[in-house]
Chains A and B, each alone.
Chain A
Amino acid sequence: MRLQAAGVKLGYGERIVVDGLDLGIEAGTATTIIGPNGCGKSTLLRALGRLLKPQGGEVLLDGKRIDKIPTREVAKILGVLPQAPIAPEGLTVADLVARGRHPHQTWYRQWSSDDEGAVTEALDMTGLADLAERPLDELSGGQRQRAWISMALAQGTDLLLLDEPTTFLDLAHQVEVLELVRHLHRQAGRTVVMVLHDLNLAARYADRLVAMRGGRVISSGTPHEVLTEELLGEVFELDAKVIEDPVAGTPLVVPIGPRTRPAGPAA
């Protein structure tokens, strides 16, 4: 088990979002967490990436408590890309990607050939070498997201946590970003955990799905096991047909409408 949440209690101050949740992430898997807005999936991802300290329970990285490992050491193993990250104006793609090398640098040795190699490779892998000198704010949404992923790649971690990497992107760019993530997972053997909103893309690009509601894991397993008509009703309060994706063979959700409750009008 690469990454594990054991009985974690998560929240912001008084407001508890997740209470007593267990989740394990196997090495080399691509896991996607799905669930309705406010179900705690981003909160869980932040806790797995030690961006949020659990109020109870613990997060284990390779069997050790993540808060007991020096944060810089964690940064060499695990990279987190938060939702809609910010960058100072005028920052170029190459400079952003170079900042991914931060955990490998000391203040007296700021740039090494390792850094140079990692940055070059990350730019290449994301197809951004041609745009390396362009300021981030001049790029399209898809290119910008690839630049951020590129920064996380330059960090050189084999565990990647991505919080809604496709937000604000059109469908073509969503597919482009997810193809890149799949490549990182399959070719380079990285362990990936993502939060996604699009269930059909989640089913296609993940080999494990975790469905959450109200801070609890309702179901987890392969996309076929998790994405059932029954679960969609329970988790999303959605009436839907689940058919086979004619392209990938994964489950495809076709919504019918909000769940029709047998007793009385919907709340």
Chain B
Amino acid sequence: MSATAVAPRIRGVRHRRLTVLFALLAAVLVAVVLSVTVGSKSVPLADAWHALTAPTGTENDIVIRALRVPRTVLGVLAGVALGVAGALMQGHTRNPLADPGLLGVTQGAAFAMVSSIILLGVSSLLGYIWFGLAGALVASVAVFALGMTGGKGSPTPVTLALAGTAVSAFLYALTSAIVLLDEQAMDVFRFWQAGSIAARGADVVWQVLPFILAGLVLAAVNAPGLNALSLGEDVARSLGQNIPVTRAVGVAAVTLLSGASVAACGSLAFVGLIVPHMTRPLSGTDHRWLLPYSGLVGAALLLVADVVGRVVAPPGELEVGVVLALLGAPFFVALVRRRKPVRL
């Protein structure tokens, strides 16, 4: 290949990447349609369209508008958020086993929720979620601050992971102690811990939307810097990247994305672990593509798992978090066995 053949090659890659992007968008669309129509009460596609465009108050209209649409939108938001957060997290820590929970968001949200129940008597879903969000943010800031004390201004992946593990373990112990003492807290906690996108209305969607959008903007800003960082801190610095700012933006993005989804849907951090591994064969190592692809794969995966949970055990439903773990764990093992583990 001569020099002149490099340019068309780069354009060819770009073309292929756009094709994959549209294929993934189509997959999310299919998952959305399934999520709106399939369930304990199956709704024909025509009726679903009717409910969305010109509702007349039929039973199907109500099911679609009050239950299925918020559930589906929340699934898309949480899936996108956790997929992107997982890819960011693995990129920043260079650890293929990292998930967004590593920053302490999951245990932070859990602890804040159960505390709000026993200390303040909070009893509404929206109330728990606000506290969960706050807890996730505070825990993550604490982890970042602790990770920083080890050294020279900017936390390293190792100090972050250590601080995250320590803070998570500490908060988990407190949460366990609380739920053992308080029955109502225990009830909220066990449903939250299973992970679900069901029975949350449009108000929950509006509640977490701004946080997830802000997180996505930060993630987009972070992508080129993360590409530089993946060549090591010295090379990144040599390429003119400000390392502490890049790390801080990344941590802020992960916190907003995973904090919002975990508060609203419970502990689904597994999505963040598995999705980047599913996505990398499609995207390669370029975070400018890995992040959007991971978001779309995350949304499709979460919705499909949710739909599976609705149909496997009629007339009941299985929480999406349970389905994800049941299906995801063997899948993850197969993925790791088939391809040699990725070095990041």
Contacts and interface: CB of A to CB of B under 8 A. Distances in A.
Interface string B270-282: 0000000000100
A75 B239 contact: yes
B285 A72 contact: no
B335 to A, nearest CB: 15
B285 A102 contact: no
Contacts of B228: 99, 102
Contacts of A92: 284
Contacts of A111: 10
B220 A82 contact: no
A116 B14 CA distance: 13
Given A107-B220, A107-B224, A102 B6 contact: no
A208 B280 CA distance: 46
Given A94-B9, A119-B10, 13 more contacts: A71-B237, A71-B242, A75-B238, A88-B285, A88-B344, A94-B10, A95-B286, A96-B231, A102-B228, A103-B239, A111-B10, A116-B6, A155-B239
B5 A129 contact: yes
A82 B1 contact: no
Contacts of A50: 237
B242 to A, nearest CB: 6
B247 to A, nearest CB: 15
Contacts of B4: 120
Contact of A51 (B7, B10, B234, B288): B234
Range, interface on chain A: 35 or more
A88 B230 contact: yes
Contacts of A98: 10
Interface string A77-92: 0111110011111111
B124 interface: no
Contact of A86 (B10, B232, B288): B232
Interface residues of B, number: 35
B227 A102 contact: yes
A71 B3 contact: no
A137 to B, nearest CB: 8
Contact of B3 (A51, A75, A91, A124): A124
Contacts of B242: 71
Interface string A95-116: 1101110110101001100001
Interface of B: 1-7, 9-10, 94, 220-221, 223-224, 227-228, 230-232, 234-235, 237-242, 280, 284-286, 288, 342-344
A79 B228 CA distance: 14
A99 B240 CA distance: 12
A14 interface: no
A189 B9 CA distance: 30
Nearest to B227: A99
Interface string A43-84: 000100111000000000000000000111111101111100
12 contacts: A74-B240, A80-B234, A82-B234, A82-B238, A85-B232, A88-B230, A91-B284, A94-B10, A107-B220, A110-B224, A119-B10, A129-B3
Interface of A: 46, 49-51, 70-76, 78-82, 85-92, 94-96, 98-100, 102-103, 105, 107, 110-111, 116, 119-121, 123-124, 129-130, 132-133, 155
A207 B63 CA distance: 80
Nearest to B286: A95
What 9 A-B pairs are tightest by C-beta distance, nearest first?
Answer: A75-B240, A72-B240, A103-B240, A80-B238, A82-B234, A102-B239, A89-B343, A124-B3, A88-B285
A119 B232 contact: no
A96 B234 CA distance: 15
A138 to B, nearest CB: 13
A73 B5 CA distance: 31
Contact of B235 (A85, A90, A123): A85
Which of B94, B223, B242, B343 has the largest count of A CB atoms less than 10 A from its CB? B343
A264 to B, nearest CB: 42
A135 to B, nearest CB: 10
A78 B344 CA distance: 27
B288 A132 contact: no
Nearest to A96: B231
A156 to B, nearest CB: 11
Contacts of B223: 107
B240 A102 contact: yes
A83 to B, nearest CB: 9
Contacts of A105: 224
A71 B2 CA distance: 34
Contacts of B288: 110
